[in-house]
Amino acid sequence: MDKRPTIHPAREPGGQAADRRYRRVLRRSWRPSVGMRHAAALALVLAAVLLTAPRAAAYDRPALLEKVAATFALRSADVRCPTTEEWVDDPIWGTGPGVSRAWGYTEMIHEYIVMHPALCAGAMAVSDPGLPLWQRAVGTLVLVHEAYHLRHWASRRSEAKVECQAIRHFTAGAQLLGASPELANELLPFALAAHQRMVTLFREYRDPGCKLPLWRLPMTP
Ligand SMILES: [Zn+2]
């Protein structure tokens, strides 16, 4: 896995390496040991199929998230919300100590989005006061961010340009997910804080020319 820390990588330029790693892991789980008797080998292959098949199909593809992502991507969007087990086991992260897990990623070869289960839940329930504001805000921000990786535009592989678009379109994204304009404004400080964290910790997300949206003080008169 990449040595560099990642927040929510688009898997570029490491996308192909990650993809190769994924295929290698799958092949390994399917290959019986050398010298094994045929029946035993077949049993192992069957076991691999049984173990692999249900996990491959466990993630959700929420229609709401795909619809909102498609609005920003200007094309249909495949948005995957894995189970926690799938997320932790995603071979794209590797298994070494200190492997950092992102908030989400866009697989740039097969063009699909995968989001952290907690952030999927936040984006799905943007108006639910039972979930913390940070979870709803970051879920929305990550969804919009990954959608801009899917969109076919000149800067789709630039984390800085993509993240700038994500924070600038954050309140629009929150409203498409069901928030009122007032709630979108209430969520904005958490999105700005997440954005600030990203650009502070990871230089590749930093766009000095990015014009950030302003929170409106909801105080009257
Ligand atoms: Zn990204």
Write the pLDDT tens digit of every residue in 48-92. Answer: 545 555 555 689 999 999 999 999 999 999 999 999 999 988 888
User: What mean pLDDT value characterizes the chain?
Assistant: 81
Instruction: State the maximum Cα–Cα separation within the chain, in Å, rounded to a whole number.
Output: 81
Q: Separation of 85 CA from ligand 1 center, angstroms?
A: 23
Residue 101 lies inside a defined structural domain of this protein: yes
In this predicted structure, the answer to whether residue 136 has a pLDDT above a threshold of 50 is yes
Query: Structural domain tally of the chain?
Result: 1
Residue 85 lies inside a defined structural domain of this protein: yes
Q: Separation of 8 CA from ligand 1 center, angstroms?
A: 5
Residue 2 lies inside a defined structural domain of this protein: no
pLDDT (average), residues 134-161 = 98
Q: Separation of 117 CA from ligand 1 center, angstroms?
A: 17
Q: Separation of 61 CA from ligand 1 center, angstroms?
A: 20
Q: Cα–Cα distances in Å, from 93 out to 9, 88, 100, 105?
A: 11, 8, 7, 11
Residue 10 lies inside a defined structural domain of this protein: no
Residue 6 lies inside a defined structural domain of this protein: no
Residue 157 lies inside a defined structural domain of this protein: yes
Residue 47 lies inside a defined structural domain of this protein: yes
